[in-house]
Amino acid sequence: MRKQERADYIVEKLEELYPVLPVPLDHTDPYTLLIAVLLSAQCTDVRVNQVTPHLFKRANTPAKMLKLDVSEIEDIIRPCGLAPRKAKAIWILSDMLIKEHGGKVPNDMEALERLPGVGHKTASVVVSQAFGVPAFPVDTHIHRLAQLWGLTNGKNVVQTEKDCKKLFPEDKWNKLHLQIIYYGREYCQARFCKGIKCPICTHLYPRRKSPVDYSKS
């Protein structure tokens, strides 16, 4: 099976499994999504969704966030890990949104990536899920599965993103990003499948018998 054929099958199978699915992080607007994605770094979505109601009850806009001390933000988000760094980033980016963007979250990658604590993946998630701009955020699930499925031999998420964008139609990127994440969590966990057990892996590589090593980003 050629690489493009594998990609086409993946789109078909994931659409069958996940025709409709929610954004994993609870939010009400672009700002709360931005904060939730920032908090999700090295933290589970479940934990973030447990913490953000307490944070957003106190501050769900940049202006309200600036009324909190960084130490107050830090105390609230502590369960998400890396609290000192994340709290400082949240306060500073809120200040920047007010001073540079009229209190609104910008809808372009370059402006988002200038905000503290906002890397390429976070910016990609925000533009795709909040504004519908085509993007293909690559997290650890997607990076791993893309290698298992033979879509990339990239050693990092940057190359994996480039390779996936070439294989998948642009109008599928935003939904496909979420579909792959859900699939990785439900069917192809790192410890369980290793390229030889889940439905997609076994269909794409029916003769594969040995676990597949993949490079971590």
pLDDT one-digit tens code per residue, 53-95: 999 999 999 999 999 999 999 999 999 999 999 999 999 999 9
* DSSP designation for 150: T
Catalytic one among 13, 95, 139, 175?
139
Q: What is the pLDDT of residue 155?
A: 82
pLDDT average, residue stretch 120-149: 95
pLDDT the model gives residue 139: 87
Determine which of 27-41, 59-73, 143-157, 166-180 has the lowest per-residue pLDDT on average.
143-157
Share of the chain above pLDDT 90, in %: 91
Q: What is the DSSP letter of 211?
A: P
Q: Are 26 and 40 in contact (CB under 8 A)?
A: no
Q: Which CATH number fits domain 3-21+136-204: 1.10.1670.10, 1.10.10.10, 1.10.357.10, 3.30.360.10?
A: 1.10.1670.10
Catalytic residue among 86, 121, 163, 194: 121
Residue 209 annotated to the active site: no
Name the CA dihedral angle for 10, 13, 15, 19, rounded to a multiple of 10 degrees.
-140
Count of helix runs (H) and strand runs (E) in the chain: 12, 0
Q: What is the DSSP letter of 195?
A: T
**Shortest CA distance to 207 belongs to which of 150, 129, 159, 122?**
150
121 burial level (CB within 10 Å; 0-12, 13-18, 19+) = buried
Count of alpha carbons within 13 Å of 158, Cβ hemisphere only?
2
> Does residue 121 carry a catalytic annotation?
yes
Q: Which of 156, 183, 151 is nearest to 167 (CA)?
A: 151
pLDDT digits (tens, 9 = 90+) for 93-130: 999 999 999 999 999 999 999 999 999 999 999 999 99
Answering whether pTM is above 0.85, one says: yes
- All CATH 1.10.340.30 domain ranges in the chain, comma separated: 30-131
* 39 touches 74 (CB < 8 A): no
Q: Which CATH superfamily is domain 30-131 in?
A: Hypothetical protein; domain 2 (1.10.340.30)
d(CA 143, CA 24): 18
Residues of CATH 1.10.1670.10 domain(s) within the chain? 3-21+136-204
